[in-house]
Every structure is written in C-alpha cells, then in structure tokens.
Amino acid sequence: MASLTEATVEGGAFTYGNDRISYRITRAAQLVSRVRVHVHPDATVELECPPNADEAQIQVVLSRRARWIWRNLNDVRDGRSHALPRAYVSGETHFYLGRRHQLQVIAENAAGSSVRLHRGRLEVRLPVADPAAVKRRLDAWYRKRAEDYLGERLRVICADLPWVSEVPTMSLLKMRAQWGNCSPDGKLTLNPALIKAPRPCIDYVLTHEICHLVEHNHGPKFYALLDRCAPQWRTDKAELDRLAELLLAGI
C-alpha cells in the first residue's frame, strides 16, 4: 500500500493451466528489496520491483508464485461475483465499521435531507427516493464519518509510536485497488470506504501506512517494524482482503 510516486509501469502475462493471467510491473526508486507480488481487490496482479530487477528475476518470481497468484485471483473473483451492484433502495445492506446495516429510504416532503444510524438501520431521509440522490447522501455521510474516525484513530496510533513526532497530514480519496498510501514526503491518503471495515482492519491499514514513514518500501525491515507495531496484522489483513469487494461496492 505504499505510494508508488514517480514509478514506471510495464506489463506482461503468463499462462497457468488453461488461464492466461495478465500483470503489471511497477518500478520505483524507493523499492530496494526483492520483487513482491500483489493480487488486488479489483482482480489485478501487480509486481513491485526494484529499478534494477531484470526480466530473468521477474520470471523466476512468477514461476514460484504462479499457483499462489492463480488461487488468490480465483478467490477475489469469487468474492466479486457475490458483490452485487448497489441499488440504493430500502432493504439492501451497507457496511459501517464492519457491521451490516439495513438501508431504509424515507421520502418525506421536508426541506433538506439526512442520514443516521438508528436501531441497526441506516436511515436516509430526503424529499424524493431517487437512488442517485440516496447514493450522494450516503457518500457524503461516509466521508464525514471517515474524516472523523480515521483522523482520531490516526492520532491515537501515532501517540504510541516513538518515531512519530507529528501526526501526518491525512486526505481522503476514492480508490478501487488501495486502502491507503504514504507519499515520500509523509502525507497519508486513505480510501473513505475504509470506514466500512472492521475496527481492527482500519487500525492495521493506518499502522501499515505510518510504518512507511520509516521504511518507504515493502522490504524485510518494513515487515519487521509492522510485526512489532501490530503483531496481529496478518489476521486483520486477511479479513480485510476477504471483505474488500463487498466494502468497495459502489465506489
């Protein structure tokens, strides 16, 4: 999830069984460790490479990880097949902090509109029950909740980490394949859809990005630091990966 600012991108494909799998190669100056393989929630495959990684190194990684890539792609695609497009009508469910809430759209002849959580329901009140208007109101509500909650958790987590002297700047940006990134100058960009994830998953993403303030790549030192700061991060990441397509539906 680290930022890949000023990266160059290439592409390729390989065959596993009867499947032809495309991938992209991302090279960036701050990547100094071995080639790392990612299967993103949008079913794209990315190889993070140091600038000097040659084709032979990349092919060795692909041959070793081909089955892992194929298996994880199938898992992601299976999850996506169950993530139906949102209709923004009463009765469907939407996530907030890891819990499902039934949407209730209430059309009433009153000025303005509002969104609230009430007794397990996510109520949207507005003059006309137009799905596009419901989506706009929900998006704004989620964004405000994300600003408040993610900002507070960022402050709490930073307070416990000795290398953080100042809470980094945080901004929100809708992203299809990332939960967050950390720029080389220490600014965090977070996906507002993260507010839909369970609380431990949110803390994992925030801690992951804060660790990039020290280690700007995904090398062994980075993961050693993450292990010290969040020993359960692998469990939280697996849960976030499992829910990704459902949480990102409608982005």
Model confidence, pTM: 0.70
Rounded to 10°, the helix 233-248/199-211 angle is: 110
Residues ≥6 apart with Cβ < 8 Å to 226: 207, 208, 211, 233
174-210 per-position pLDDT tens digit: 988 789 999 888 899 999 999 999 999 999 999 999 9
pLDDT value for 3: 32
Handedness of CA 194, 238, 33, 228 (dihedral sign): positive
Residue 186 is classified by DSSP as S
Q: Structural domains in the chain? A: 8-81 (no CATH), 136-248 (3.30.2010.10)
Alpha helices by DSSP H, the chain: 55-81, 131-159, 199-211, 220-229, 233-248
pLDDT tens for the chain, 251 residues long, are: 433 333 345 788 898 888 889 998 888 666 666 788 888 877 889 888 888 888 888 889 899 999 999 988 887 776 665 556 788 999 988 999 999 999 999 998 776 789 999 888 999 999 988 999 999 999 999 999 999 999 999 999 999 998 888 999 999 999 887 899 998 888 999 999 999 999 999 999 999 999 999 988 888 899 999 999 999 999 999 899 888 888 887 66
Longest C-alpha distance within the chain, in Å?
67
Integer Rg of the chain from CA = 20
Tokens representing residue 12 in the block: 């390729």
What sign for the dihedral angle of Cα 171, 176, 179, 185? negative
Q: Who's near 41: CB < 8 A, 6+ residues apart?
A: 76, 176, 177, 241, 244, 245, 248
